[in-house]
Amino acid sequence: MLGSKTSMASVTIEEKRLRQLKQQLFGKEQPLGKEAPAHKTHSVPDHASAKPIHAQTISFDSTSLKKDFTKIISFSILALAIQLALFFANRHGLISLFN
């Protein structure tokens, strides 16, 4: 009996937290009380408003990943060029690193 009360309390706390997160994400208040079923997770307005946010997130993620990938490639090419320059300079006696 005590365990069921604890689980019910945690469910209501989780539902309240979910409502708060939805309000922060979508910027509008969710109806409270009996008229709003607690088990309802997908509705047309929520799904419709989630699409632009999801599209913007994907766009931002792909842009930032492209920039990161470009930086990684450019620094890798620079590091390889420096290694090759040091190797040939050492090999032809321009500098003495390991001789």
CB 78 within 8 A of CB 84: no
Residue 96 token pair:
């003495």
Please say if the pLDDT value at position 33 is more than 80: no
CB 53 within 8 A of CB 28: no
Residue 1 token pair:
């009996």
Residue 34: pLDDT band with limits 50, 70, 90: very low
For the chain, the average pLDDT equals 75
CB 54 within 8 A of CB 25: no
Report pLDDT digits (tens) over 38-85.
555 545 454 455 455 566 677 778 888 999 999 999 999 999 999 999
Q: Is the pTM of this model over 0.75?
A: no
Distance from CA of residue 66 to its chain's centroid? 15
